[in-house]
Amino acid sequence: MMTSPLITPAQLQQLDPTKRIIFDCRFSLADATLGRQQYQQGHIPGAFHLDMEKDLSGPKGQHGGRHPLPTPEQFSATLRDCGVNADTLVVAYDDNRMAGAARLWWLLRYFGHDNVRVLDGGIKGWLACGGELSTAIPTSESGRFLAKANPHLTATMAHLQQGLDNTTLIDAREAPRYRGEQEPIDPVAGHIPGALNLPWQQLTNSVGCFVSAEVQRQQWQSLGALSNPVVYCGSGVTACVDLLSLAMIGVDNARLYSGSWSDWCSYPENSIATGDTP
């Protein structure tokens, strides 16, 4: 039986605090300091904060996108500082329809740690279920987590440049950005030729919980047959919500183009498509 990558607030409340480690993954692309500020104002008791720019991403360069993947050494050190071991159950949450939490979920799987769950509904769901918040900053003994990257979970720009033979490319950004009608972040608008569009926000409801697996399955089926799916977004963060959804419906071979649109459009020679046509 497939184990859900989600955990409900009620289930989290029932867990032995010594048997899991919680991470607060709140962030804002508009204000890099906001996630930490929110964490300090109140977080799920015992939760550590992970910064999107410093902890869940690596150093930026001319290419590679706005949120490159952290190195195995960097990610290992971050998780060890919070006491994570090879068998630790990790629970991730945020307040942005799973965007930050899904990034941590995907990174852990990419680095060889499958024992990870995303809190459905995030911190709002926790509060709605009667959960309390704390301002205490937790401490921990050093863990023994060792990150080992799995290249089979990623797709490179070179692969996409060579053609989409037997690959379904999915753009997880909002439809206006996919069509090239607006681009609030990156210098070029449009999408990678051949990409289909399934915006990441469609997979959750207004209170930040995933819609039912059946509704998700219907949304994916509306795109047509999914053959070796590769997902991208603006910088490799919100695409992880699409990847989490695919995992929920049993698609286990989906990959992330981690550099995403911010990497693709940094090369002037790359082709660009606009409008509703893939």
Q: Give the separation between CA 104 and CA 98, rounded to whole angstroms.
A: 10
Q: DSSP string spanning 216-246? A: HHHHHHTT---SSEEEE-SSSSTHHHHHHHH
pLDDT at 1: 37
Q: Give the separation between CA 139 and CA 159, rounded to whole angstroms.
A: 43
pLDDT at 164: 74
pTM of this structure: 0.97
Enumerate the CATH 3.40.250.10 domain ranges in the chain, comma separated.
Answer: 6-150, 154-264
What is the number of alpha carbons within 13 Å of residue 35 lying toward its C-beta?
A: 25
Q: What is the CATH number assigned to the segment(s) 6-150?
A: 3.40.250.10
pLDDT at 134: 98
- All residue ranges of the chain with pLDDT < 50 are 1-2
Active site residues: 233
Tell me the per-residue pLDDT of 43-75, one tens digit each, with 9 for 90 and over.
999 999 999 999 999 999 999 999 999 999 999
pLDDT at 141: 93
Q: Give the separation between CA 278 and CA 271, rounded to whole angstroms.
A: 12
Length of the chain: 278
Among 1.10.10.2840, 3.40.250.10, 3.30.9.10, 2.60.40.2140, name the CATH number for the domain at 154-264. Answer: 3.40.250.10
